[in-house]
Amino acid sequence: MKYYKAVYTVEASLIFPICIIIICSVLCLTFSIYRESCSYIDEHIPKEVDYAEEFRRIQMITDLIPGKEETNGPDATDQL
């Protein structure tokens, strides 16, 4: 019967747990980043946007600024 040295077994017993710990920590880190980004979205992004109210608010602000004329883009004559 052929006997092998136990060097590979000892090295593997040290390397495999370290690799498993690194993989698990990266996995836990990704889940925590995902949860943090979901909570940030819930706090900072409104659920519903009332576009008509937002348009009225922008119109009111532009009416208050003196000398600011409303521009909706280039005129048809500018394209010629």
Residue 62 falls within a domain, yes or no? yes
Residue 30 is predicted with a pLDDT of 97
Residue 24's φ and ψ, nearest 5 degrees, are -65, -40
CB 41 within 8 A of CB 34: no
Inter-residue contact 68 to 62 (CB < 8 Å): yes
Query: Which structural domain, as residue segments, surrounds residue 34?
Result: 7-68
| pLDDT band at residue 4 using 50, 70 and 90 as cut-offs | low
Domain for residue 19, yes or no?
Answer: yes
Per the structure, the count of domains in the chain is 1
Residue 58 domain flag: yes
Q: For the whole model, what pTM was predicted?
A: 0.48
Residue 29 lies in a domain: yes
Examine residue 75 and state whether it is found in any structural domain, yes or no: no
The pLDDT tens digits of the residues spanning 9-68 come to 778 888 999 999 999 999 999 999 999 999 998 888 877 778 888 899 899 888 888 765
Q: Is the pLDDT reported for residue 79 higher than 80?
A: no
73 inside domain: no
What is the pLDDT, as a whole number, of residue 73? 53
